[in-house]
Chains A and B, each alone.
Chain A
Amino acid sequence: MYEELADEGFTVITVGIERSPEDARPWIEKASPKHPSLIDIEHLVPDLYGMINVPTVVWIDEEGRIARPNDASFASNRFKLLTGLDSKRHLRRLRAWVRGDAPALTPSEVRKHQDLPTAAEQEARAEFTLAWWLSREGHDDDAERHYERAGELAPHDITIRRGSMRTRGLNPMGLAFLKIAIKSALTRTPLYRRIEDSPA
């Protein structure tokens, strides 16, 4: 995708929401991308953009304006059955926007699709920052209270809940995540927030 459109005034910036650069290294080295591939161990980008899960993509235009806000989108259809997300549709739309064949969203549509952060979500992020600092200082037992509290404040924030599992000795592919997924299904709170728009 990047290779195809790099000459058309387009770039990709990937941001790995990880505990350390080492967690992202195998992924980045395998893809050996020519675009910036960044590591965000403090969850700065989720905080600035109000992201509550990954993968999340944002389209940003030449003037640095948000052309399409947070949208769940995978690079391939590997997880389509699980997530119900069709990556092909997103790529088609993206290609048309980059080439100038189709507009992104109007400013009022962008605003309509934005989930602006709440006080509870920001408090959860502050708790996560505290917990993560305590973990790195070796105070895992005390960190746990703050991870728990962050999860209570923003139970739908998967970047916090699943993103902290390895640090806390839990398996993000295992039962702990399955519980979150089941709860989300029961409460009809989608794990992946996507923008519903007309077929491209």
Chain B
Amino acid sequence: MPTLTLLHDGRVDEISVADLARPTISPEQVESLLGWELKPEGLCQGYMCIPVDQDDLVREDGLDLRVLADALQRPLVTEEKHAVASLGASHHDRAEALDSLDAPDFTLPDLAGNLHSLSDERGKKVLLVAYASW
């Protein structure tokens, strides 16, 4: 079976797909990679479930990735030639997070490769400065 490279949540994962033109993903990987469990009531995270039309979502060889992305309101863009897909973040999730006023946490490396998180600075006032050389 061909392999699809799935770029999501800052990660790169490989999933086996029967058809690159209409990729599917196993329910196990939906749970382990994306954190959603398929139940009779829909796609669930704990007690919260999103209702989905399971006739559209569930196919012989797994869950239809495009239908899944639509249900989660996440953009999915693909480059079939190189067997790669990018699953972006839902604008609802991003907007909800910002509207809560909790500053989204992140972990990034410095020049030496040491990782730092915003949450390491809890207890201080922080000026976050995004800049670029371009």
Contacts and interface: CB of A to CB of B under 8 A. Distances in A.
A200 B62 CA distance: 59
Contact of A116 (B5, B74, B82, B98): B98
Given A17-B130, A38-B108, A39-B111, A116 B81 contact: no
A79 interface: no
A64 B118 contact: yes
B127 interface: yes
Contacts of A114: 98-99
Contacts of A36: 110, 116, 120-121
A59 B89 CA distance: 23
For this complex, into which size category does the number of interface residues on chain A fall? 35 or more
A16 B125 contact: no
A9 interface: yes
A62 B123 contact: yes
Most chain A CB within 10 A, of B7, B75, B105, B131, is at B131
Contacts of B81: 142
B95 interface: yes
A121 interface: yes
Contacts of A26: 133
Nearest to A22: B111
B128 to A, nearest CB: 4
A73 B73 CA distance: 33
B129 A12 contact: yes
B97 to A, nearest CB: 8
B88 interface: yes
B127 A10 contact: yes
Interface in B90-134: 90-91, 94-95, 97-99, 101-106, 108-111, 116, 118-134
Contact of A17 (B94, B125, B132): B132
B79 interface: yes
B76 interface: yes
B18 to A, nearest CB: 22
A125 B129 contact: no
A110 B101 contact: yes
A9 B125 contact: yes
A190 interface: no
Interface in A29-60: 29, 36-40, 42, 44-51, 54-60
A172 B98 contact: no
Interface of A: 9-18, 21, 23-29, 36-40, 42, 44-51, 54-67, 69, 75, 94, 97-98, 107, 110-111, 114, 116-119, 121-123, 125-127, 129-130, 133-134, 137, 139, 142, 145-146, 149, 159, 162-163, 165-166, 172-173
15 contacts: A13-B121, A16-B133, A21-B109, A39-B108, A44-B108, A45-B108, A56-B130, A61-B125, A62-B122, A64-B103, A65-B101, A65-B102, A129-B88, A142-B82, A162-B134
Given A60-B121, A122-B88, A123-B88, 4 more contacts: A10-B126, A27-B133, A48-B94, A59-B126
Interface of B: 5, 7, 10, 12, 73-79, 81-82, 84-91, 94-95, 97-99, 101-106, 108-111, 116, 118-134
